[in-house]
Chains A and B, each alone.
Chain A
Amino acid sequence: MKFSVMISEGPYTHQASDTAYNFTRAALESGHECFRVFFYHDGVNNGTRLATPPQDDRNVVNRWSELAKEYKLDLVLCVAAAQRRGIADADEAKRNGKDADNIAAGFRISGLGQLIEAGIQSERLITFGD
């Protein structure tokens, strides 16, 4: 089955990203196809490479980056949500006159249309959040 995922909460404060990760990995390992993982609201905070969790804890951001590499996942951060919360790639940083970018490997920034498209193109859209 072709599915997409929406994640509405940031890492560590909330379990949404962990559960979404476990779900996505399990589904991919079972042979299902993931069209897109879309990060919205505080979910965009899952895409900063500057996160430095304690070494004895899981690294939520890196886990997504590694899963994306392994399965060629499309990890999309909503641009409007990312701008509000200070998540930027090189282009966004330049466009908004910022002195740095912080997007993690395997993520890209794009518009809300990507969420709608994911809903239309997938057989299931699964939301992880409150």
Chain B
Amino acid sequence: MSQTKKLLYVNRKAPYGTIYALESLEVVLIGAAFEQDVSLAFLDDGVYQITKGQDTQEVGMKNFSPTYKALGDYDVHKIYVEQESLDARGLTLDDLLPLTWEDEDNDWAEKDSIKVISAVEMAKIMNQSDVVFSF
């Protein structure tokens, strides 16, 4: 399997209430070992998956949001968030986890992983992907 494909993981659902977000993250972490060109997309209620200050104590679920911060270490650093989805929920970039990665080609400079894009741009990214994993 020497070929490299563009993989896009599309996350559309809230982090709790259903298991999709958690099990999607598990795929991303396993998939990182395959050394493919990986992107993540967050849209609809999926944008809540990477919001700051998640506290699940009262609902008895594991808060797995800190795991997203590890994505940069797995070389997963192209994270696209749909502007329209943020707007519809009264969220801004400041409400999201500060996800970063270190660029080894640029003296390990710390860079932001999240890019907020429009629905039109999101459609282009989906169109340019070879494989879309939909969660």
| B131 contact set on A, CB distance < 8 A | 119-120, 125
Minimum Cβ distance to chain B for residue A23 (Å): 15
| B19 contact set on A, CB distance < 8 A | 41
A8 to B133, CA, bound (A): 11
Interface residues contributed by chain B, number (CB under 8 Å): 20
Which residues between 89 and 130 of chain A lie within 8 Å of chain B, taking CB atoms?
A: 111-113, 115-117, 119-121, 125, 127, 129
Partner among B1, B3, B30, B133 whose Cβ is within 8 Å of the Cβ of A125? B133
A7 to B93, CA, bound (A): 33
Contact A80 B1 (CB under 8 A): no
Q: Taking the complex as formed, is A40 at the interface, i.e. its CB lies under 8 A from any CB of chain B?
A: yes
Q: Given A40-B23, A127-B134, answer yes or no on A120-B36 (Cβ-Cβ < 8 Å).
A: yes
Which residues between 43 and 61 of chain B lie within 8 Å of chain A, taking CB atoms?
A: none
**B17-43 vs A, Cβ < 8 Å mask (1 yes, 0 no):** 001100100110011011010000000
Contact B20 A113 (CB under 8 A): no
A1 to B134, CA, bound (A): 21
